[in-house]
Every structure is written in C-alpha cells, then in structure tokens.
Amino acid sequence: MNMQVPEQIATAQKVGVEALYRVFNTAFDAYEKFVALNVQAAKASILENEAVASEALALSAKDPQSFFKLQSRQSQATTKKVQAYWQHVNEIATETQSQVLASTEKLASGYVRETQVIIDNLAKNAPAQNEVITAFWSKGFGATWDAGKALNH
C-alpha cells in the first residue's frame, strides 16, 4: 500500500479538527459579544431607571400631568432602545453566521480537494484487477461533489 495515502488521510482529519475549533472559537466570540451587549444594556437600564425614578418622584408630588408626560417620553425611549438592542443582536448573529458559513465552505472545498488527491493516488497505485472499484469510487465521489455543489448554489 502506498504510504502517502495514510498521511493524506491524517492531514485531512487534522484540517477538519482545526476547522471545527475555528467554528467553536467563532461561536464563543459571538457569545462574548452577546454577553457584553447584555451587560452594557443592563447597566444603562439601571442608571436610566434610577434617574427616571428620581424625576418621577419629584414630578408626581408637584404636577401629575408632568409625571404622565415623563412616562410617555420614557415609553418612546424604551421602544427605541429595544429596537437598537435587537439590531445589535441581529448584527452579531449575521456576522457569526457569515463567518461560520465561510469557514464551512473553506473546509468543504479543502476536504474535497484532499479526498480527490487521495482517490487519484489510490487510482494510480491500484493493484491489478481493481480498475472497476477505482472507477466506481472516482465516479461516485464526482457525483457526490456535483450534488453538493448543486445544493449550495
């Protein structure tokens, strides 16, 4: 048996494991961004609620109409903040999805290249009487590759 084939298989497996860890790191980075966003939102909310509560207490004692105006302003401000928060969440999710998709596509194309090299090496070094099996593997791999490309495009 050709010693190059096991080395190529090991290399392909190593590339796969490295790609998997890149995806894990990307997901963890996204998680860190979500946590940072939530901490920032919680801090801002606490500070704003404290200020609004102080103002509301002062206004409710003096002028009830001003108190209701304050509530209305706060309601509108809260709606804008919630929309901004979800926009940030969407940006993080979209960025993460793009990074994972790019990594996956890169991994898949590298895996296909490596697998094709292995199949080609096996075909070159195939023992006598195994041409049918080699042709079967080559055609099968080609068909699988074409089907995968059709699904992704």
Contact 104, 89 (CB under 8 A): no
- Burial of 118 by CB count in 10 Å (0-12 exposed, 13-18 middle, 19+ buried)? buried
pTM of the model as a whole: 0.64
Tally of domains within the chain: 1
Phi/psi for 116 (5° steps) reads: -65, -40
Query: What's the pLDDT tens digit per position in 31-87?
Result: 999 999 999 999 999 998 888 877 777 766 677 777 777 778 888 888 899 999 999
Element (DSSP H or E) covering residue 44: helix 4-62
For residue 88, give every residue at least 6 positions away whose Cβ sits within 8 Å of its Cβ, in sequence order, or none.
37
pLDDT in tens, 89-144: 999 999 999 998 888 887 777 777 777 777 777 667 666 666 666 677 667 767 77
Closest CA to 126 of 140, 138, 143: 138
Q: Name which of 144, 109, 114 is nearest 6 in CA terms.
A: 114
C-alpha to C-alpha distance for 136 and 90, rounded to whole angstroms: 46
Q: Rounded to 10 degrees, what is the CA torsion of 136, 137, 139, 143?
A: 130
Tell me the residue range of the domain where 86 lies. Answer: 4-152
